[in-house]
Amino acid sequence: MVAAAAGSTGPRIFRRGPWELLATVLIGLGVVMLMQPFALALFTYSFVTILTGTVMFIVVSHFPE
């Protein structure tokens, strides 16, 4: 096994900032999909999109800063 550098808390890809932003955008996109009156397919998948963003935000909130 390769030891991580001192002070490192894991791979840089698992940082909280960008993932929280993506989860927040996903939640917002789901809300917009829920409120639009034009496409039934967007309305149909809005709940799944909001749920995915919410679960993602909960998981990402445990990532290191």
Nearest CA to 56 among 20, 14, 2?
20
Residue 14's pLDDT is what? 82
Q: Where are the domains of the chain?
A: 16-62
Enter the tokens of residue 10: 């894991």
Residue 13's pLDDT is what? 84
pTM of the model: 0.80
Residue 4's pLDDT is what? 53
Give the model confidence (pLDDT) of 11-63 as tens digits: 788 889 999 999 999 999 999 999 999 999 999 999 999 999 999 999 999 98
Length of the chain as a residue count: 65
Residue 7's pLDDT is what? 56
